[in-house]
């Protein structure tokens, strides 16, 4: 009877370690995905903002007709669901508003005044997302990200 009990105990302990290892791998992968998503969204919003400002350097009037393929918020559209539950309602509305404005500017066009005001709004949205783009102590020392 003790040999059977020992075998069951070994199976339970082995199963526990297997489950813990698989969970560790999955959580590490998920955390990498979240860090990357935040970094991609921030980079794309900043790049699109700069592109809009640079486009206004060539004076063609007050209205700049779209489309501008280089001005987009596709990363936010793709990764917005990753921030559900992590952003409060006001922060989510701020980031989504900036992304919507950038998307509209890229598809339809924009006024030069809007383009010059866009960097300040983008930086505010980037500040909101920065806390998700930086690895924590746990990420660096335990998961070695």
Domain boundaries, the chain: 34-134
Half-sphere exposure of residue 73, counting CA atoms within 13 Å on the CB side?
A: 22
H or E stretch including 63?
strand 63-65
132 within 8 A of 35, measured Cβ to Cβ: yes
Q: Which two tokens stand for residue 91?
A: 């922060």
Distance, CA of 7 to CA of 10 (rounded, Å) = 5
pLDDT at 137: 86
The pair of structure tokens assigned to 92 is 């989510």
pLDDT value of position 61:
76
52 burial (CB, 10 Å; 0-12 / 13-18 / 19+) is buried
Q: What is the pLDDT along the chain (145 residues), one digit of tens a residue?
A: 588 888 888 888 888 888 887 787 788 888 888 999 999 999 999 999 999 998 888 777 788 888 999 999 999 999 999 999 899 999 999 999 999 999 999 999 999 889 999 999 999 999 999 999 988 887 788 777 6
Between CA 50 and CA 113 the distance in angstroms is 14
């Amino acid at each position: 009877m003790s040999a059977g009990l020992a075998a069951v105990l070994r199976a339970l302990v082995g199963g526990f370690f297997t489950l813990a290892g698989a969970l560790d791998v999955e959580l590490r992968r998920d955390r990498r995905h979240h860090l990357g998503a935040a970094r991609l969204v921030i980079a794309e919003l900043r790049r699109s903002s700069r592109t809009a400002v640079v486009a206004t350097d060539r004076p063609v009037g007050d209205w700049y007709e779209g489309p501008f393929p280089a001005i987009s918020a596709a990363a936010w559209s793709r990764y917005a669901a990753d921030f559900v539950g992590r952003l409060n309602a006001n922060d989510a509305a701020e980031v989504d508003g900036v992304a919507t404005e950038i998307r509209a500017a890229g598809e339809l066009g924009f006024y030069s005044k809007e383009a010059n005001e866009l960097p300040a709004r983008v930086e505010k949205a980037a500040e909101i997302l920065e806390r998700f783009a930086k690895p924590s102590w746990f990420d660096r020392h335990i998961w070695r990200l």
